[in-house]
């Protein structure tokens, strides 16, 4: 269970950092983070 929380926190932090650094649209960042999460964290 804590693994899912850790991954959720990592995704949230990655999205916030990307948003602050790039000033891109938050919806585009959300799509990018969620797509990459699926690729990176396959079980």
The residue segments making up the domain with residue 13 are 2-40
Place of tokens 């983070």: 33
Q: What is the pLDDT of residue 21?
A: 94
Q: What is the pLDDT of residue 43?
A: 44
Distance CA(36)–CA(21), nearest Å, equals: 18
**What does each of the 43 residues of the chain score in pLDDT, given as a tens digit?**
688 898 889 888 989 999 999 989 989 988 888 888 766 655 4
pTM for the model stands at 0.66
Q: What is the pLDDT of residue 41?
A: 55
The count of structural domains within the chain is 1
Answer for the pair 14, 24: CB distance below 8 angstroms, yes or no.
Answer: no
Q: What is the pLDDT of residue 30?
A: 86
């Amino acid at each position: 269970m804590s693994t899912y929380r850790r991954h959720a926190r990592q995704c949230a932090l990655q999205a916030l950092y990307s948003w602050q650094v790039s000033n891109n649209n938050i919806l585009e960042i959300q799509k990018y983070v969620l797509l990459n999460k699926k690729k990176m964290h396959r079980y």
